[in-house]
Chain A
Amino acid sequence: AQTVTQSQPEMSVQEAETVTLSCTYDTSENNYYLFWYKQPPSRQMILVIRQEAYKQQNATENRFSVNFQKAAKSFSLKISDSQLGDTAMYFCAFKGGATNKLIFGTGTLLAVQP
């Protein structure tokens, strides 16, 4: 069975600094998708970034980038130039190639300090 592990329940970063959130996963599949979702205090989960496993190039979306290490089954999120609005719960999620469902990690609560 696939699992997603986020080992950092909480993290804190100073505004304008860089922070990396960790995520590891376990699967026997070769074709899958990985996601980072952000859940601010307003509750709606918003997609931050996604990575297809067959792509070797790490995905980047403005200040957000990932370090995808397929062999190590690692998918970390780097937030550069952190902003106060980045304060949220961040969930790593996995989707197998043959399924519709997302499997979420337990989340990392990120606090950006002024």
Chain B
Amino acid sequence: EPEVTQTPSHQVTQMGQEVILRCVPISNHLYFYWYRQILGQKVEFLVSFYNNEISEKSEIFDDQFSVERPDGSNFTLKIRSTKLEDSAMYFCASRETGPLHFGDGTRLSIL
């Protein structure tokens, strides 16, 4: 069964550095998402992306965040200048018309 794949599985970055989290959604899916889960807290919506543009975003998704679909397969989340509070598990998800399919997540640790 096709899966959403995310790389890397764990990213350690110094505070203030830029980080790019990568995702390959399922190939025929049209809607793409990023969610995050701070340790011990609930999963929070960050952004949704459809037809090459952001369709919806949360208050968390401020100017430090951006998303891109640079080619036909990858979907990336960039954090420009990381803060300690950005440490979390970041999940990519995609869907065609049905429910979301999630990737395994990238654990981002900011030092």
Contact = CB atoms under 8 A, between A and B. Distances in A.
Interface residues of A, number: 19
Interface stretch (A18-26, A39-47, A71-79): A39-47
B37 to A, nearest CB: 9
B89 A43 contact: yes
Contacts, number: 44
Contact of A106 (B35, B42, B56, B101): B42
Which size class do B's interface residues fall under? Answer: 20 to 34
Interface string A79-107: 00000000000010000000111111111
Interface string B80-99: 00000000010100000001
A103 B45 contact: yes
A105 B42 CA distance: 6
B105 to A, nearest CB: 5
B42 A107 contact: yes
13 contacts: A42-B104, A43-B105, A45-B43, A45-B102, A50-B99, A91-B43, A100-B31, A100-B33, A100-B55, A102-B100, A103-B45, A104-B42, A104-B43
